[in-house]
């Protein structure tokens, strides 16, 4: 059997995520010793010939420190202003340190649209890959100052996983203020035990994460677990580890057993499906009958109008829509071939009758399987 830690040793392309809780020293400004240590470790990973993309949080927290604010503002524009101020501090901190190791850095700020629009997704991918080829360390964050609430990732775990998908990373390493994933929140349960390794898809992990974050972090362990599942879609394993541990990155990549390794056991999704899986903006839903739900789930088939029993929401051809079973559980998501208006006319309609009902035939499928991902 291949030792699963061996896979981290062999990782050529790694996404490292540093969370707010860790980076901002629990609200006392950027953690200088931490930054020195992480940058030095990333520099040695680069010197070993590995490619590293850094996803760093901390803009809002650093902005609050610079502006002298103690409370995280509730007002979106003040939050966005803080992010804009703090992002300057972040890039300065990384730039200066990487330069000492002879490395160039590049700032990449991504929003949801950069991942959801296929052309922008491909463009972001090409830019990141070009930077890696040039030996530059890209420093990524969400484009906090301009994104609207409806479409923000909010936590950088999700963003880091999407970046791992985007560049086909071998591993995602999430550094946080805990040593990894525990069987319950160690903040509230001192007796909690560290999980050393699990299949990212293991449903029993869901009960352990609780969803609570620290005062500075956004997502807690729940978003880290979800991120591991997202990263697994492109075949990347995820390590969640304590960022304050001595030489944590170098030791982890040397194959030492620390933190929690969440393994990608399913075969990677095709590139288009990876892009689909990262979409946040769902425009509506179609209810499917039990038979359709079964063939979607078990045989990965396309959804035909005959399997639909209802349509909710307002969507256009090409929008992302979710498919729910008769019990209301989401089965899949995909890009529709018909608008909501036409779809309502097509509920339960056989393929042969589509043209008669609509007066035209676009495609026989409501959602083609190539444009669908199971949830």
Ligand X SMILES: Nc1ncnc2c1ncn2[C@@H]1O[C@H](COP(=O)(O)OP(=O)(O)O)[C@@H](O)[C@H]1O
Ligand Y SMILES: N[C@@H](CCC(=O)OP(=O)(O)O)C(=O)O
Catalogue the E-assigned strands of the chain: 13-18, 51-56, 105-110, 137-142, 171-176, 197-199, 237-242, 260-263, 284-288, 308-313, 320-324, 330-335, 372-374
- Evaluate whether 309 touches 348 at the Cβ level (below 8 Å): yes
CA dihedral (41, 42, 44, 47) in degrees, to 10, reads 180
Chosen residue from 29, 214, 242, 268 binding ligand X by CB under 6 A: 214
Site string for ligand Y, 294-323 (x = CB under 6 A): ------------------------------
Binding of ligand Y by 89 (CB under 6 A) = no
Q: Minimal CA–CA distance to 171: which of 300, 259, 292, 83?
A: 259
Q: Is 177 one of the binding residues for ligand Y (CB under 6 A)?
A: no
Q: Is 144 annotated as a binding residue?
A: yes
**Annotated binding residue 339:** no
> Binding ligand X by CB under 6 A: which of 35, 160, 164, 213?
213
User: How would you classify the pairing of strands 105-110 and 237-242?
Assistant: unpaired
Find out whether 138 and 54 touch, Cβ atoms under 8 Å: yes
Residue 22 interacts with ligand X (CB under 6 A): yes or no: yes
Helix (H) or strand (E) holding 85: helix 76-100
* Binding of ligand Y by 235 (CB under 6 A): no
156 annotated binding-site participant? yes
Task: Please select the residue that binds ligand Y; options are 52, 60, 131, 263, rule is CB under 6 A.
Answer: 60
Alpha carbons 327 and 287: distance in angstroms, whole number: 9
DSSP secondary structure letters along 315-360: --TT-EEEEE-TTS-EEEEEE-SS-HHHHHHHTT--GGGHHHHHSS
Q: How far is the CB of 121 from ligand X (least distance, A)?
A: 24
Asked if 59 contacts 67 with a C-beta cutoff of 8 angstroms, the reply is no
- Please choose, out of 107-115, 119-127, 179-187, 248-256, the segment that lies near ligand X by the rule CB under 6 A: 179-187
Annotation-wise, does 206 bind a ligand? no
> Which of ligand X, ligand Y, none sits in contact with 170, Cβ below 5 to 8 A by type?
none
> Is residue 218 close enough to count as binding ligand X by CB under 6 A?
yes
* Three-point CA angle 58, 216, 166, nearest 5°: 50
Q: Examine residue 182 and tell whether it contacts ligand X (CB under 6 A).
A: yes
In the list ligand Y, ligand X, none, the entry touching 187 (Cβ below 5 to 8 angstroms by class) is: ligand X
Choose one: 16-24, 114-122, 142-150, 321-329; the region binding ligand X (CB under 6 A). Answer: 16-24
Task: Please report, as ranges, the residues that interact with ligand Y according to CB under 6 A.
Answer: 19-20, 57-61, 83, 141-142, 144, 155-157, 213, 217-219
**Binding region for ligand X (CB under 6 A):** 19-22, 57, 176-178, 181-182, 184-187, 208-210, 212-214, 217-221
């Amino acid at each position: 059997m291949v030792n699963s830690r061996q896979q981290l040793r062999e990782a050529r392309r790694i996404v490292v995520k540093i969370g707010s809780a860790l980076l901002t020293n629990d609200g006392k400004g950027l953690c200088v010793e931490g930054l020195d240590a992480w940058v030095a470790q990333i520099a040695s990973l680069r010197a070993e010939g590995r490619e590293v993309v850094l996803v760093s949080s901390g803009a809002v927290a650093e902005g609050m420190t610079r502006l002298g604010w103690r409370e995280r503002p509730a007002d979106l524009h003040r939050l966005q202003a803080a992010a804009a101020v703090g992002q300057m501090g972040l890039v300065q901190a990384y730039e200066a340190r990487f330069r000492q190791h002879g490395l160039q850095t590049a700032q990449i700020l991504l929003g949801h649209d950069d991942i959801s629009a296929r052309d922008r997704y491909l463009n972001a991918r090409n830019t990141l890959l070009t930077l890696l080829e040039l030996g530059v360390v890209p420093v990524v964050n969400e484009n906090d100052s301009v994104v609207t609430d409806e479409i923000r990732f909010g936590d950088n775990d999700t963003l880091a996983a999407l970046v791992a998908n985007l560049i086909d990373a071998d591993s995602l390493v999430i550094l946080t203020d805990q040593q990894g994933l525990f069987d319950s929140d160690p903040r509230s349960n001192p007796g909690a035990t560290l999980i050393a390794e699990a299949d990212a898809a293991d449903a029993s992990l869901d009960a352990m994460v609780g969803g609570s974050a620290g005062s500075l972090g956004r997502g807690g362990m729940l978003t880290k677990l979800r991120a591991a599942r997202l990263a697994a879609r492109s075949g990347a394993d995820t390590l969640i580890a304590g960022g304050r541990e001595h030489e944590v990155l170098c030791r982890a990549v040397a194959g030492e057993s620390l933190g929690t390794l969440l393994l990608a056991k399913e075969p990677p999704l095709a590139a288009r499906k990876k892009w689909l899986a990262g979409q946040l903006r769902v425009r509506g839903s179609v209810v499917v009958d039990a038979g359709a739900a079964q063939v979607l789930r078990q045989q990965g088939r396309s959804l035909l109008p005959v399997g639909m029993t209802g349509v909710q929401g307002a969507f256009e051809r090409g929008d992302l829509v979710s498919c729910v079973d008769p019990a209301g559980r989401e089965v899949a998501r995909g890009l529709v071939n018909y608008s909501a208006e036409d779809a309502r006319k097509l509920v339960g309609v056989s393929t042969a009758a589509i043209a008669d009902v609509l007066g035209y035939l676009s495609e026989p499928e409501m959602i083609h399987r190539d444009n669908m991902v199971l949830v």
